[in-house]
Amino acid sequence: MNTHYFSASKRLGLALAACGALASCQTALPTFMSQTPVAVGKNAPLTESEKQGWRYADLVRDSLPGLSARKAWAQSEKLSAPDEVVVGVLDSGIDLKHPALASVLWVNSDEIPDNGVDDDQNGYIDDVHGYNFLGDSYNERVEVTRIAALGLGDDSLIAQAKAEIASERPKALQDKERYSSILTAVQEADQAFKAASGKTTYTEQDLDDFGSDQIMLVPKIQLLKQMISFVGSVDAALTELNGTVKYFGDKADFQLNPDFDGRVVVGDDPYNIEDLGYGNGNPQFQAPDESHGTHVASIVAGVENNLAPGVRGIAPNAKIMSLRAVPNGDEYDKDIALGIRYAVDNGARIVNMSFGKSYSPKAEWVYEAIRYAAEKNVLLIHAAGNEGEDLDDPKHPNFPNDQINNGPEIADNVLRVGALAPSVGPDMVAEFSNIGKINVDVFAPGDEIYAAMPDNQYAYQGGTSMAAPAVAGVAALVWGHYPQLTAGTLKKILMYSGTSVDLTVNHPARQEGAPFNALSRTGKIVNAAQALALAELVTQKKFNLKRYEKKHVAKR
């Protein structure tokens, strides 16, 4: 479940050398694949504009580890108009009315809205912009809780799950109570100072200047000053505390609660892949805090508007297919498998999957869907996860994946993405990002990402959930210009055209430094401009990917 948000970036050589004989072109590496640029971090704090748009930046020109999106857009404008590419966002519900998204939604023209009829006979009623596999449900248990409660799997797995719940749920209850007490204390202190000072807003200086003979007010003022020192303002502290209380409350009351069953309102058997016909055709977000899908979708293809000038999706040629399948808890394997198949069967060429979990009792259903997507030439982009773990360690599985026990890939169409922070230096890899020389393919901007939120809002969120759609956007942009590429070839282009960085960074899973290129399969940052350039070379048969792999890429 990658729905947790983490709050807290000189142009590369892209000249394509003129090729003589075809054979020489196939063996020569483009400049951007044969050189490692010198990466220098910014000395000054980011301006608000830089912070909001750091994912578009170019590493050398801007000293931020972005996607070189602005450069790619300039290249794109010199090419023929790109084809439309449908991107399935398999996620929570999306704000379909948001000004960043309303005009870029996929439309099923064969379906008549809201008539209760499956007009196109695809098995889904009223699926105009996608489908809602969750129906009216929102809160849900995590998979380990369902395993313990429903007795899924063998005796050993069930015992392990019960032990985990017995350990983790009391901690969540304790944390919920602890942060609730802190929240109450800050609220009371805030109200008391406002009443005593007559101020409706105040600063740390106001607290320092306030003289009071009320001895009971002194510790309250100290508490408020402490909150300001932590996060900059009391209002920000209250916002974070409310979010923290909800986070632990949701864990204790729903996600780790064996007696809670969020699926009952859906009406299907989620462990029977043949039990179909559930859900509905409205993939709109359902709850006030169901913001994840909206944020993700706008990173792919959001339209710039006056609510957030300068903020846009990576792929202006993409259309968003909304697939509501990720609850406030762990997703079901059944919903993911059917969601992938729905996207494939209804015209999506890319599916973004910003979610994950540690247990997958019906993983084979998802593996079959991945293979089906590969057969139909559909690319799947998956977030690596936010636990700060090494996914190559068998003790830290993350599903869905595209291999079993670090073995060979089951298909060639899955790309897994780790997250970067807006910094060039030791902190470049986001502290929460999972890593893996086998299980993570590339990195992309994922921390402190400014994008759309429900109800016409924008906000910063962070996670590998934000890195994956950035890459999905790059994939859509490239595929729009080079539609003849296969999904497997496009995956390789995204991987091999990325930016290499010779840096020692903080290893998220260990308290030590590590070479950046040791944390993923390629050791690269996805680069949109270079991906376009390599796609051109491959399409024109001036670069041979198989020959490059044989010479430069170690086999898994």
DSSP string, 69-136: HHHHHHHHHTSPPPPPEEEEEEES-B-TT-TTTGGGB---TTS-TTSSS-TT-SS-TT-SSEEETTTT
Which portions of the chain are predicted below pLDDT 50? 2-27
According to the model, what pLDDT value does residue 36 have? 85
196 touches 220 (CB < 8 A): no
Q: What is the pLDDT, as a whole number, of residue 187? A: 98
Report which of 296, 425, 271 is spatially closest to residue 354, judged by C-alpha positions.
Answer: 296
Q: What does the pLDDT read at residue 20?
A: 33
Q: What does the pLDDT read at residue 108?
A: 98
| Domains located in the chain, CATH noted | 22-141+261-552 (3.40.50.200), 155-255 (no CATH)
Return the pLDDT at 1: 52
pLDDT digits (tens, 9 = 90+) for 453-468: 999 999 999 999 999 9
Crossing angle of helices 69-77 and 464-481, rounded to 10°: 20
CB 93 within 8 A of CB 132: yes
- Residue 23: what pLDDT? 35
What pLDDT sits at residue 11?
A: 27
pLDDT at 47: 95
Please tell me the predicted confidence (pLDDT) of residue 325.
Answer: 98
Give the Cα separation of 359 and 330 in Å (integer): 9
pLDDT at 97: 98
